[in-house]
Structure 1
Amino acid sequence: MSKFGELIDLNIPVLLDFYTEWNEASNAMHPVLRDVAAALGDKAKIIKIDVDKNAQLAEALRVKGLPTLMIYKGGEMKWRQNGEQDANTLIGLLQEYI
């Protein structure tokens, strides 16, 4: 999990998307996250984390519903929500931390 610490300890906002391939709502977020990444470029980072492959991390962060979205900056969680979000909402949230 030390690698996780490196991922979230950035001076730009980091959006984490906890998902699984078999979850419909998770799959619906893929194009939304592509739009967010395209809109913000290198001002923010988006990281997708497959819960099936990272069960220990998901458990440690108490990820229950999918998708679970989190925003970190400087190693500190700033925002967290379960369920789908639209691109404009996520862009707005991330811009608060840029």
Structure 2
Amino acid sequence: MDDPNRPLPSPVGDSDFESRVLKSDVPALVDFWADWCGPCHYIAPSVEQLAAEFNGKAVIAKLNVDDNPATPEKYGILGIPTLIYFKGGAEVDRVVGVTSYQELAARLRALMPAA
């Protein structure tokens, strides 16, 4: 059963991408998606699980490419889903297409400061 208090990925757009993602003090993962994209819906539960697991340790966000065309153009998004990892305001990794939760989480853990 879904927990209604479970953290969800934050919606971001062209207007707040810089302040919420690039200027974040913690690593960020942005899922570039669209409502009509079947693979985007397929990977969504994994992104939601990342939001719960990394709550407070990373920004997990979703950007709708149809509603926010400037940011995907800036980052050369040619296919979706595309998930881009950011750290210190710069792109550090990118995954295109459906990828396992384990792979997505491992790439995010690699950006975390050593404990």
Task: After TM superposition, give the deviation of residue 2 of structure 1 in Å.
Answer: 6.4
Per chain length, whose mean CA-contact separation is higher, i.e. which structure has more relative contact order (CA < 8 Å, sep 6+)?
Answer: 1
Indicate which of 9, 28, 46 corresponds to 1:32.
Answer: 46
Q: Give per-residue Cα distances to partners, 1:21-64, cap 9 Å, x unaligned.
A: 00000111111111111222211111100000011211121111
In structure 2, stretches of 5+ residues that fail to align are 1-13
Query: 8 Å contact 1:9–1:73 — kept in the other structure?
Result: no
Deviates more, 1:2-11 or 1:20-29: 2-11
Q: Specify the structure having the higher radius of gyration (Cα).
A: 2
Change in Cα spacing, 1:80 to 1:48, as seen in structure 2 (3 Å) is same
> Are residue 41 (structure 1) and residue 55 (structure 2) matched?
yes
More helix by share: 1
> In the alignment, which residue of structure 2 is the partner of 1:3?
16
> Normalising by structure 2, what TM-score?
0.79
Give structure 1 regions of 4+ aligned residues with deviation exceeding 4 angstroms: none
How many residues matched? Answer: 98
Gaps in structure 1 of 5+ consecutive residues: none
Query: In 2, are the aligned partners of 1:12 and 1:97 still within 8 Å (CA)?
Result: no
Aligned pair partner of 2:64 in 50, 55, 64: 50
SS of residue in 1 equivalent to 2:55 = helix
User: How far is 1:11 from its partner?
Assistant: 2.3
> Between the two proteins, what is the percent identity of the paired residues?
30
Report the AA paired with residue 4 of structure 1: F
Partner Cα separation in structure 1 for residue 100 and residue 56 of structure 2: 20
Partner of 2:29: 15
Q: Distance in 2 between matches of 1:40 and 1:4?
A: 19
Inter-CA distance 50–2: structure 2 relative to 1 (3 Å threshold): closer
Q: Find the partner of 1:95 among 102, 106, 109.
A: 109
Contact 2:24 2:59 (C-alpha < 8 Å) held by counterparts: no
1:83 Cα shift?
0.5
The offset of 1:4, in angstroms, is: 2.0
